[in-house]
Structure 1
């Protein structure tokens, strides 16, 4: 072999690059830019487990199944109700129900389908129809009961208080409420019409316990403890159970949402987020920074909640003081997850841990929901998809 001592030595080829790290590093950088917690995604941890396969009219995600209502080709009067199991041995079936403004609820081993005024109660195990009612004027679900209102030509308007599981009518009264709520004990039923006529009834007998005229009811009604809270165009009113006596009334500009928060009442309105003492109506604090508030289980145990601003920035909030406990960055809190959207991907992060679980493409950034370890979101063409996420 002849060796040329004057020639430069041959260069060694560069070591191979592990391109698997590029995606993980890029994801971490992206999340930092979005303001999220730093972390490298764990590949393969987010797994698709179900999909509607087509456009949905309504959807409901539980810890064991995805329920959807979907149009039936050539039949406008009905929708197909599908149950798709998410776990081994779970329920999978289909059934039909009347079409309309469909809502789905899972209550006591049943799937309740309300379509406009019609109600169909299906057994959640196999889709068997337990009972249905199609002649009602309206159907208002309260706890494990439903108020069915009718227009009777001879007797006028009436409402029946009906057991959801069996369809058994418990009692019947005159009138047609537009909204109704149960207190936490299930003993009291508050029902009101849009004219402001409000009635408190005993749920066992239907007997009237108290009445109150509230002018026009154009806002929200909520029961917290022994307080019935009513919001109207520029006011917030508290009534006492069980006599509906007026306790206090305060001015707040155009309330949009209200919910319990750490012993207080958190209200979002046209000026931001405020907290009121439900006993006195005193405003404890107010901020224009946050436009929404909720208390997911991930922080509720610590007596905290999550607030989001108009710019998409989210924080963990102390509802007692209104102070920020922890910055979460920009994103959309859903259950115990933080969802961030960029470049056609939805990045999934643990709300408490800040751990990045992975990403999925093609998700519509509105309408996501969680149930246990499952995350469900609308996707292209009106379909709905469910993923299993590590917890």
Structure 2
């Protein structure tokens, strides 16, 4: 049996220290199991970290891995099948390390013909949905039975599975498309509304869709109910090809005009104009905590969503990735990757410089896991970013990992140097 040195949890004394804090605020396999690891480790200063559970899942080159809930899904080209056919395997993620070194067995395996590149997984009652990008269309969704892997349905478009149980599908393209509500068990459309090439966007609150906003290239904007598709508000806001683009944030529809350096806000209830702000070099608008962050160039400005008033400017930061307890996780490009820092949301003052990390994909209320190459000895350093506390807490050094990592909640999956997939869970 080959043993992978998973390393020890410690600080990285050989890594360069981050630059001093400036004096003021500035701006997303496998045939043989190698080893099952269960390790209780400590950080350098004798600060205990939770026990982590590790295992190796067989996979071949060309495979993709997705974590959702308590399952790991491995997708790879199927052997002995026509080109484009893939095998999907579902593995249960263990709560503790297995007692032996036997390779994990899949809960189920399923073969899907004529699939493109799998890039996203969503789950809901009774089904798991795979978003697939094809060469000849703008994408499709493949639904498999969550318990058995049996194929349920396949149809064009990309899904949004609302926590309340509503499944929305959207297609698009130069000729327009549609947004529709779909029965998850059968794929049958419950209602459908056509869209122009401008498509549709969703107004969210705590992950739930509150409104569907249809934005044409020109003409009237429509706001519809996500449960029935019924029209609730409509207005012609004077949009045309030169008007820029539209963003939905908080309860606002924001028209962003980069050429004019303007952001205009309309309330989604009634589509009446609320305010207009002049923001030079505006490119986009995002939610960040209780503010609106408007990146442009190598900086961003923070606006009050109620009035559009300027709160502060982040001069050396590109934008904001997350918010916790009155603090913002900001990002700036650096020579070795993205540098992350923590800002005070009220003033924009820099609270901490966390250094250079690759932040893993996360969802609301999930832990922020990040990785970077180990300073010495190879492998990957794993940390949890605590935005509220302004620190990066090192959890692990994975000597057998070569990178290509992704995570969900408390689980991290990385490609191993041998080609297999390493899976590590870090209970909170």
User: TM class by shorter-chain length?
Assistant: 0.7 to 0.9
Kindly provide the CA deviation profile for residues 110-136 of structure 1, in whole angstroms up to 9, marking residues without a partner as x: 321232433222232332333322xx4
SS of residue matched to 1:30: coil
Distance in 2, Cα, partners of 1:195 & 1:52 = 51
Decide whether the 8 Å contact of 2:212 with 2:225 is kept in 1.
Answer: yes
Deviation at 1:283, TM superposition (A): 2.4
Aligned to 1:294: 321
**Structure 2: gaps spanning 5 or more residues:** 1-6, 21-42, 97-104, 134-138, 361-366
| Deviations 1:2-29, CA, capped at 9 Å, x for gaps | xxxxxxxxxxxxxxxxxxxxx8798542
Q: Deviations over 1:277-297 (max 9, x none)?
A: 22222221112312242226x
Q: Structure 1 length as normaliser, TM-score?
A: 0.74
Give the aligned length: 356
Structure 1 residues 197 and 114, CA gap change in structure 2 (3 angstroms): farther
Q: Which residue of 2 aligns with 1:115?
A: 132
Over aligned residues, Cα RMSD in angstroms?
4.0
Task: Measure the CA separation in 1 of the matches of 2:416 and 2:319.
Answer: 24
Aligned CA distance change for structure 1 residues 44 and 147 (closer, same or farther; 3 Å): closer
Tell me what 2:30 maps to.
none
Computing the radius of gyration from Cα coordinates, the structure with the larger value is: 1
SS at structure 2 position matched to 1:216: coil
Identify which of 292, 295, 298 aligns with 1:268: 295
Aligned twin of 1:251: 279
Aligned residue for 2:147, secondary structure, equals coil
- Counterpart of 2:40? none
CA distance in 2, matches of 1:72, 1:259: 41
Structure ranking higher in helix proportion: 1
Deviation per residue, 1:56-79 (Å, 9 max, x gap): 565432241222332335533333
Query: CA 1:359–1:149 in structure 2 vs 1: closer, same or farther (change >3 Å)?
Result: closer
Which one of the candidate residues 329, 334, 340 is aligned to 2:372? 340
State how far apart, in whole Å, the 1-side matches of 2:402 and 2:346 are: 34
Match of 1:239 in 2: 266
Partner of 1:284: 311
Once the two structures are TM-superposed, the CA of residue 355 in structure 1 deviates from its matched residue by 4.0
What secondary structure does 1:278 align onto? coil
Matches within 5 A, 1:136-175: 136=156, 138-139=157-158, 141=160, 143=162, 144-149=166-171, 159=178, 161-166=180-185, 167-175=187-195
Structure 1, 123-132 or 216-225: larger mean CA deviation: 216-225
Mapped partners of 1:96, 1:264: distance in 2: 46
In structure 1, list runs of 5 or more residues that go unmatched: 1-22
1:93 to 92, 108, 130: 108
Matched residues in 2 for 1:111 and 1:119: separation? 10
TM norm structure 2: 0.68
Measured after TM superposition, the shift of residue 105 of structure 1 is 2.7
Higher RCO structure, 1 or 2 (CA under 8 Å, sep 6+): 2
**What secondary structure does 1:290 align onto?**
coil
